[in-house]
């Protein structure tokens, strides 16, 4: 195998629990991410990277100087070390399936990864597939990206005949909770542009993402004894239910795809005296996102008009923007990636991301940052899997990006 350490590096990383934690008051949100940062710092030093360090916020950085004056671009590669808090990342037990036969993959807890439900699997017959054991997520999002970057850098360093531009690396914390760019020092990173290695199936190239906002609906009720409640009680839980029922039924994640936006209910905490409802809203255009914000405000206004004390307070905060607004004026960055794909024997599939990456925010922080595939599928749950051959192609793309 061309990249003999790739699989072992990936397996080692996914066994380390690094899930992030929403609403944490620390940076990073979990101490275990700092422990991972120390491990990654040591790995980068061991393969020969220069200026390797870990910031107090857990960002791991390193660089390689250019070995030719002909390639003047300074290019970065970024991946995140945290895994999604939506599913357990503790005690991950990777399962390696050599020469996959195209049949159902049967795991613990009645988890079956079947090509009937996930037909992309059939394109991977004969390849090496890695899954978890059915009780956890795998963590390919984004430890595959980290392993691929480390492998590419090690290969470049061990083959000094490869002429390349200046290369920078950064592994970030807390991407899964939308905070991966909060303490990213763009000036210190020192790149002209970068690529996140955080995408899905082989060949995907992303330079368009959602615009994103978070909406918190706080509801006050009036709690009295139910035996004497007539005309007095205002049940905050019922108001929360009413609010939810007024959201457009066909504009939720389970009813949308491609470039359709959505309202996604992520949390309900309700009692008689108070309730809290949280949504994330997404749209590929700012106009579409603003319309969704207006719908939420109108629902709140409609309900408030029926009560003398305005029980609903709604707070909407923007999270990230569509990176295409920046990248559409910097086509050379996208073209460089396309050439690297072609030189790696990979057909580039331009796919808008129904989500966001660190690159969404970094692009608006003066670090234009498209997204490159890792090879993974079904992130954030027990059905997650990845093809080793696709990971090898991601390594090829990283290398070919810096030698153009």
**Could you report the per-residue pLDDT of 228-259, keeping only the tens digit for each?**
999 999 999 999 999 999 999 999 999 999 99
Task: Report, as an integer, the average pLDDT of 340-361.
Answer: 93
191 upstream amide cis, omega within 30 of 0? no
Task: Report, as an integer, the average pLDDT of 349-354.
Answer: 93
- Residue 72, pLDDT > 70, answer yes
DSSP, residue by residue, 138-187:
--HHHHHHHHHHHHHHHHHHH-TTS---EEEEEEES-GGGT-TTTT--HH
Number of C-alpha atoms within 13 angstroms, CB side, residue 194? 31
Task: Output the pLDDT for position 387.
Answer: 98
Task: Output the pLDDT for position 58.
Answer: 97
- Residue 210, pLDDT > 70, answer yes
d(CA 289, CA 191): 31
* Mean pLDDT score across all residues of the chain: 96
d(CA 207, CA 323): 6
| 118 band by pLDDT with thresholds 50, 70 and 90 | very high
In which order are the strands placed within the sheet that holds 74-80? 50-54, 60-64, 166-172, 74-80, 193-199, 371-373, 204-206, 349-350
- Residue 15, pLDDT > 70, answer yes
Task: Report, as an integer, the average pLDDT of 299-313.
Answer: 95
Task: Output the pLDDT for position 1.
Answer: 55
Residue 179 sits at φ, ψ, to 5 deg, of: -120, 15
Residue 69 sits at φ, ψ, to 5 deg, of: -85, -10
Homologous superfamily (CATH) of 6-209+322-402 is Zn peptidases (3.40.630.10)
Q: In terms of C-beta density within 10 A (0-12 exposed, 13-18 middle, 19 or more buried), how is residue 159 classed?
A: exposed
The DSSP code for 303 is H
Which regions of 14-134 does DSSP assign to beta strands (E)?
50-54, 60-64, 74-80, 95-97, 105-106, 112-113, 129-131
| pTM of the shown model | 0.91
- Strand-strand pairing, 274-283 and 211-220: antiparallel
Over pLDDT 70: what percentage of the chain?
Answer: 100
- Residues in CB range of 227: below 8 A, 6 or more apart: none
Class of the 211-320 domain? alpha beta
**Which H or E run contains 342?**
helix 331-343
Task: Output the pLDDT for position 345.
Answer: 97
- Active-site positions? 82, 175
Over pLDDT 90: what percentage of the chain?
Answer: 97
Residue 206 sits at φ, ψ, to 5 deg, of: -115, 125
Task: Output the pLDDT for position 2.
Answer: 81
Domain chopping of the chain, boundaries: 6-209+322-402, 211-320
- Residue 127, pLDDT > 90, answer yes
Residue 126: C-alpha distances to residues 97, 345, 388 (Å): 10, 18, 11
């Amino acid at each position: 195998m061309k990249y003999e350490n790739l699989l072992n590096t990936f397996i080692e990383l996914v066994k380390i629990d690094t899930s992030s934690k929403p609403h944490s008051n620390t940076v990073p949100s979990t101490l275990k991410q700092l422990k991972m940062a120390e491990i990654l710092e040591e790995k980068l030093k061991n393969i020969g990277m220069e200026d390797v360090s870990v910031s107090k916020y857990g960002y791991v950085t390193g660089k390689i100087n250019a070995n030719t004056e002909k390639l003047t671009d300074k290019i970065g590669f970024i991946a995140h070390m945290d895994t999604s808090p939506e599913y357990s990342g503790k005690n991950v037990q990777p399962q390696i399936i050599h020469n996959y036969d195209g049949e159902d993959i049967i795991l613990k807890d009645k988890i079956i990864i079947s090509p009937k439900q996930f037909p992309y699997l059939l394109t991977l017959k004969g390849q090496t597939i890695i899954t978890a054991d059915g009780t956890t997520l795998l963590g390919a999002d984004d430890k595959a990206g980290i392993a691929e970057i480390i492998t590419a850098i090690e290969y470049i360093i061990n083959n000094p005949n490869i002429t390349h531009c200046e290369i920078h690396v950064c592994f970030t914390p807390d991407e899964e909770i939308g905070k991966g760019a909060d303490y990213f020092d763009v000036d210190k990173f020192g790149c002209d542009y970068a690529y996140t290695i955080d995408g899905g199936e082989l060949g995907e190239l992303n330079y368009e993402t959602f615009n994103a906002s978070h909406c918190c609906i706080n509801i006050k009720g009036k709690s009295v004894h139910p035996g004497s409640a007539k005309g007095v009680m205002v049940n905050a839980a019922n108001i929360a239910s009413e609010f939810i029922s007024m959201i457009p039924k066909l504009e939720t994640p389970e009813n949308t795809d491609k470039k359709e936006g959505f309202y996604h209910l992520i949390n309900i905490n309700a009692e008689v005296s108070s309730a809290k409802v949280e949504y994330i809203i997404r749209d590929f255009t700012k106009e579409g996102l603003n319309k969704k914000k207006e719908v939420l405000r109108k629902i709140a206004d409609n309900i408030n008009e029926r009560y003398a004390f305005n029980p609903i307070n709604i707070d909407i905060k923007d999270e990230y923007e569509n990176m295409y607004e920046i990248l559409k004026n910097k086509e050379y960055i996208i073209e460089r990636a396309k050439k690297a794909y072609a030189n790696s024997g990979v057909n580039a599939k331009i796919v808008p991301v129904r989500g966001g990456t660190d690159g969404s925010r970094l692009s608006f922080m003066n670090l234009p940052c498209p997204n490159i595939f890792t090879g993974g599928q079904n992130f954030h749950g027990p059905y997650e899997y990845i093809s080793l051959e696709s990971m090898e192609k991601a390594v090829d793309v990283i290398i070919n990006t810096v030698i153009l």
